[in-house]
Amino acid sequence: MKNIETDFLVIGSGIAGLSYAIKIAEYFPKKQITVVTKQSPNESNTRYAQGGIAIVQDKDDSFEKHIIDTLEVGDGLCNKEIVEMVVRQGPASLKELLDWGVNFDINSKGKHDLSKEGGHSESRVVHHKDNTGFAIEKTLLLKLAQYTNVSMLSHHFVIDVINENNTCLGANILDEKSKNVKCYYSKITLLATGGAGQVFANTTNPKVATGDGIAIANSSGAIIEDMEFIQFHPTALNIIDDTSSFLISEALRGFGARLTDEEGNTFMHKYDKRGDLASRDIVTRAIISELEINKVLNVFLDCRKLDKKELALKFPNIIEKCKSYGIDVFTKLIPVVPAAHYICGGIKVDSWGQTSIKNLFACGECTKTGLHGANRLASNSLLEASVFANRCAKKSIQILDEIDCAYKEDKLKYIHVNEINNKNVLKLRSALQNIMWNKVGIIRNDIQLKEAENEILDLDKTISNFFNQDQINREICELRNLISIAKLIIKHSLNRNENKGVFYKEDVAVVNI
C-alpha cells in the first residue's frame, strides 16, 4: 500500500467537485488538490443534465417566486432558510460560470434564453441547447487543467474514507490500472460523487451513478437522511439499451410538447391544473395511472405541432437520439416511461456543506441540504451544486490552518486486490436492480418493502463474503455500495407513513395523486 499526502481530496468530477477544486486551486496556488474519479474525468451525472440551471434573471421573475416554487414542490419538507440562501446566491454562481467560460444560449434580444420547466411559475432556466451539463463539464475540466497544483486521478475508486475519532483523515483508494490500494491522507476531503440511480433497473443515470459517496459516508457513521425521496423522471425514452434510459428533457414540455396516448389524446389535464408542467411526482404518477388503465407499456410525447426550426435549434441532442432509433420527432410520437432520476436525500450537511464527520464535506446530489425537501424542483440541482461548492470552498479555506495533520499509519487497514470473475457480480447487481424496481419503485407498500429488505439481505451476505476473503475490485465495491443504498431507501421508506412529494405508499391512510 502506498501512502500519499495531499491538502485537499476531492472525490467526484461533476459540477460540484470541479467547481470546488477550481476555487481552492485559485485561492491556494501552493496547496495540493487531488481530484479522484472512478472513470474518465468527464463521466458524471452533470454531463447528462439536459435542462439547465434555474436562476432568477428576468424582470418578470423574482427571488420570491423561485422560493415559493421550490417550497411548493418540496411539499412542506424544505428548509426555508436554505431555499432562500440558494435561490438568492444563484445569480452570483451564474456569473462565476460565465467568467470561467461556460456558454449559455442567448435570445434575439441578446439576453439568456430562459426556458420553463415543471413546477416553475416563470421561465428561469438557463441552458446550452439540450446538453447543458455536457457544456458545463467540458468547460470546468478545461479550466481546472490550467492549475499546476491540481492532480486528476482517473480510474481510481474510493473504497472508504478514513475516520478516526469522528475526524476524516482521507480515503483508501483503489488504482484500477495498477491494482494497488493507495492511502490518501488529506486535511480536507470533499464527497461530490453524484446520485445512485443505478440501484434501479430503469434509470436515466449513467452506470457510474452507484451511490458511492452516500454509502461510504454511511459506513463511516455520517448522518444520512431522506433516502426514501427518489425522484422518478416522467419521460425517459422507452427503448432499453445496455447503459441507461435516455432522458427526454422536461424543457421539451416547457417548449410545448404534450403527453398523450397512442392516439394523440392528452391526459395531464385530468390530474393537475398545470397540465404537462405539473411537478414531476404528479406527472410520473399520472403516467403510471394511464399505463394501468390502458394496459400499455408507455405513453407518448407529441412534438408534431411545434415549430420545426426552433425545435431543431433547441433540442438537437434529443432529436438525434430519437432519430438513431428510427423516431422522427417531427412526424412521430416519442414513446416515454418514468425512470429513476434523482435522490432528494443523502448525506446530511449544514449550510456550509459540512457533514457530521469533522473535515469531511459533501456537495451535490449525494447530499441532503434541505433545498429539495420531498421533491426537487426541476433544474435546481445544478444550482444547488454550484452554490454549495462555493460555500464548501469558503469554509474549507477558513478552517484549513486549524487542522492538525498527525496521521497514524497503523490505524489504517490493508486491503488486498484479487482478480475476480465479474459475471457473478453483474448478475447480483441485476438482481438487486430488479428487486428495487419491482418492489421499491414509484408506488410502494410495506409488504413489498419488507420482502425486498429480506431479499437484499441475502445479496448483502454474498457480497460480504468477498470482502471477508479480501477479494475486491470496482464492480464488487459498487455493488456493495448499491446494496447499502437499497437498504437505506427501504429503511427510510418503512419509517415514513405520510405521502409527501415523490414518496408514495399505497397503504398510507390518506393519499394524494
Full DSSP string of 362-397: E-STTEE-SSSTTSPPTT-HHHHHHHHHHHHHHHHH
456 burial type by CB count under 10 A (0-12 exposed, 13-18 middle, 19+ buried): buried
The one-character DSSP state at 487 is H
Residue 232 has a pLDDT of 94
Q: How far is CA 298 from CA 7, 203, 238, 290, in A?
A: 50, 15, 7, 9
Active site annotation includes 280? yes
Residue 243 has a pLDDT of 55
Q: Where are the domains of the chain?
A: 237-341, 422-495
Question: Is the pLDDT reported for residue 72 higher than 70?
Answer: yes
Residue 416 has a pLDDT of 60
Q: Per-residue confidence at 253, pLDDT binned at 50, 70, 90?
A: very high
What's the average model confidence in pLDDT over 442-454? Answer: 96
What's the average model confidence in pLDDT over 97-118? Answer: 91
Cell numbers placing 98: 460565465
Contact 439, 451 (CB under 8 A): yes
The chain-wide mean pLDDT, for the chain, equals 91
Question: Is the pLDDT reported for residue 1 higher than 70?
Answer: no
Of 124, 258, 280, 376, the active-site residue reads 280
Strand partners, 358: 167
**Strands laid side by side in the 367-368 sheet:** 224-225, 346-348, 367-368
Q: In whole angstroms, give the CA distance from residue 355 to residue 190.
A: 10
Q: Which of 116-125, 180-189, 502-511 is predicted least confidently?
A: 502-511
> Which residues, in sequence order, are CB contacts of 255 under 8 Å at separation 6+?
115, 306, 310, 311, 314, 315
How does strand 346-348 pair with strand 224-225? antiparallel
Q: Per-residue confidence at 513, pLDDT binned at 50, 70, 90?
A: very low
Residue 293 has a pLDDT of 94
Round the CA-based radius of gyration of the chain to a whole number and report it.
Answer: 22
SS3 206: coil
Pairwise pLDDT comparison (421 vs 499), residue with the higher score: 499
Residue 404 has a pLDDT of 81
Q: In whole angstroms, give the CA distance from residue 2 to residue 160.
A: 15
Question: Is the pLDDT reported for residue 46 higher than 70?
Answer: no
Residue 261 has a pLDDT of 95
Q: In whole angstroms, give the CA distance from residue 226 to residue 233.
A: 18
What's the average model confidence in pLDDT over 72-86? Answer: 97
Q: How far is CA 78 from CA 75, 250, 344, 369, 374, in A?
A: 7, 22, 10, 9, 7
Full DSSP string of 440-479: SSSSB-HHHHHHHHHHHHHHHHHHHHHHHTT---HHHHHH
Pairwise pLDDT comparison (461 vs 343), residue with the higher score: 343
Pairwise pLDDT comparison (461 vs 450), residue with the higher score: 450
Architecture of domain 237-341: Alpha-Beta Complex (3.90)
Taking the model in full, what pTM does it have? Answer: 0.92
Q: In whole angstroms, give the CA distance from residue 406 to residue 413.
A: 17
Considering the four listed CATH numbers 3.40.50.720, 3.40.50.300, 1.10.3720.10, 1.20.58.100, the one that applies to the domain covering 422-495 is 1.20.58.100
